[in-house]
Amino acid sequence: MSDLNSPDAQAMKDRLAEVWNNGTGLIGQLTAVSHSTLGLRFVATGIGFLMVGGLLSMFMRLQLAWSDQSVLNHALYNQLMTMHGTTMMFLFAVPVMEGFALYLIPKMIGARDVPYPRMTAFGYWCYLFGGLLLYSSFFFGAAPDGGWFMYVPLSGAEFTPGLGPDFWLLGVTFAEIAAVTASIELIVAILKTRAPGMAIQRMPLFAWYVLVTAFMIAFGFPPLILASLLLEMERAFGFVFFEVSLGGTPLLWQHLFWLFGHPEVYIIFLPAAGVVSTLIPVFAQRPIVGYTWIVLAVIGTGFLSFGLWV
């Protein structure tokens, strides 16, 4: 083994410190790659989108509070419903949980930082850009109104002309890319950068929950990215993937979407359950009972979540 105090090792430490430390001023903040900084940014940005999504739901409830309300017309109501669901699913629930994981996991497993800090930064900016792209549609009078599931043929060019679905497809694609990059980061961090004395069977339960969730994201989100790109190619360039009369099938979108859609339910739930499983033993001052069975149950949940779609 090389001497940790050798000149080469010290040079490596200095280089890593240079990469991971946040610079000064605006440029330093924009180029930050520290897992703590980026994790908090994911959480803060997700909470910001939560507040906006909550505001949209308040307008919808105001419209439904009494009969014959005229707060929203039918078109605007559909737009707010679509953006509310999209915000909660793609811009709040998953990014916030990934933000907590990026902040906590390196500290819990004894790692100095995440293995690919620049990829994490890339994922954050993709996430922010995707969210801003979605909400910019309001300023262009082209907010999407096809529901957060964007089923075809309703979202096709024939039944929904205009740019609304295009904003949705591109914005969600960027948000999904961000989620996949964060999941890869977490998988590699947990499997390869644990402290030397931490065997995988001795990891905190939260790390197991995050590991299974990250694998679910890595396998569940690419089908939706593919579906979004196929629909955008059909709308923008005339390709045929979902038009029955020309050899396509709307079921292709449905299958690809629900390869993502049902695991998404547990992608949201499992990290929250991991937080509970971590906090209860701390405040009860008792070790968790059935560690191995809990881990097996989490892994089983991850596998079974891919077995259902509608």
pLDDT tens digit sequence for 212-250? 999 999 999 999 999 999 999 999 998 999 988 888 899
pLDDT given at position 1: 45
Instruction: Return the closest-CA partner of residue 103 out of 165, 41, 53.
Output: 41
Q: How many CA atoms lie within 13 A of 39 on its CB side?
A: 19
- Residue that the structure tokens 């954050």 belong to: 124
pLDDT score for 54: 97
- The pLDDT assigned to 4 comes to 56
User: Could you give the CA distance from residue 264 to residue 216 in angstroms, rounded to a whole number?
Assistant: 8
Name the percent of the chain lying above pLDDT 90: 75
What is residue 66's predicted lDDT score, i.e. its pLDDT?
87
Average pLDDT over residues 168-173: 97
Q: Is the pLDDT of residue 49 over 70?
A: yes
Alpha-carbon distance 26 to 66, whole Å? 48
**Structural domain boundaries of the chain?**
32-307
- Looking at the predicted structure, is the pLDDT value of residue 18 above 60? yes
CB atoms within 10 A of CB 48: 14
Cα separations in angstroms, 187 against 158, 181, 191: 42, 10, 6
Domain 32-307, CATH class in plain words: mainly alpha
Q: Token pair 């990059």 is at which residue?
A: 181
Note the pLDDT tens digit of each residue in 104-154.
999 999 998 899 999 999 999 999 999 999 999 999 999 999 988 899 988
Q: Name the one residue in this structure whose structure tokens are 């549609």.
A: 137
Nearest-angstrom CA–CA distance, 164 and 172? 12
* The two three-digit tokens of residue 153, written as one number: 């043929």
Instruction: Check residues 23 and 58 and name the one with the higher pLDDT.
Output: 58
Cα 175 to Cα 264: distance, rounded to the nearest angstrom: 14
Q: What is the pLDDT of residue 310?
A: 66
Q: What is the pLDDT of residue 20?
A: 64
pTM of the model: 0.91
- Reading the block at residue 243, the tokens are 């038009």
Q: What is the pLDDT of residues 56-90, one digit of tens each?
A: 999 999 999 988 888 889 999 999 999 999 999 99
| In the block, residue with structure tokens 């205009």 | 162
Burial of 129 (0-12, 13-18, 19+ CB in 10 A): middle
Digit-coded pLDDT (tens) for 257-308: 999 999 999 999 999 999 999 999 999 999 999 999 999 999 999 999 998 7
